[in-house]
Amino acid sequence: MLSQCIEFVYPEIESETQTALMIIAPLYIVLPIIRAYNTVAGNILRALGNSNLVLKIHFVTQWLISLPVCALLILYFDASIFWAFAMIPIEELLKTIPFYRYKQAYMNRL
């Protein structure tokens, strides 16, 4: 809906910019759902006293996986803007695996 109204907000927007916004829009529609789960799971682990584990999960997924892959995609493979922005939801998806696993393990102990 925002992409349809963007011309009213920014009347001089270039067509390439509008196309890029429409391409990455699905990523930002899905992102809040995944991020909400990770936020809740991460806060559950923090409340159980595992804030160091949450920091390690964030560090590994962002600094050791997402940023290097994004740099490779952009600098060496000349990937489109979609793949640069797609790394954000991909990073969040990578976090769901350890968050779910550790959350279930600690919740079962309670």
Q: Render each residue's pLDDT in the chain as its tens digit; 110 residues.
A: 666 677 788 888 888 888 888 888 888 888 899 999 999 999 999 998 999 999 999 999 999 999 999 999 999 999 988 888 889 899 999 999 999 999 888 878 77
* List of residues 6+ apart from 73 with CB closer than 8 A: 79, 83, 84, 87
Domain that holds residue 31: 23-109
Q: How many domains does the chain have?
A: 1
- Is 59 inside a domain boundary? yes
Rounded to 5°, the CA angle 81-87-90 comes to: 140
- Is 94 inside a domain boundary? yes
- Is 18 inside a domain boundary? no
- Is 1 inside a domain boundary? no
Measured CA to CA, the distance from residue 100 to residue 105 in angstroms comes to 9
The pTM (predicted TM-score) of the whole model is 0.78
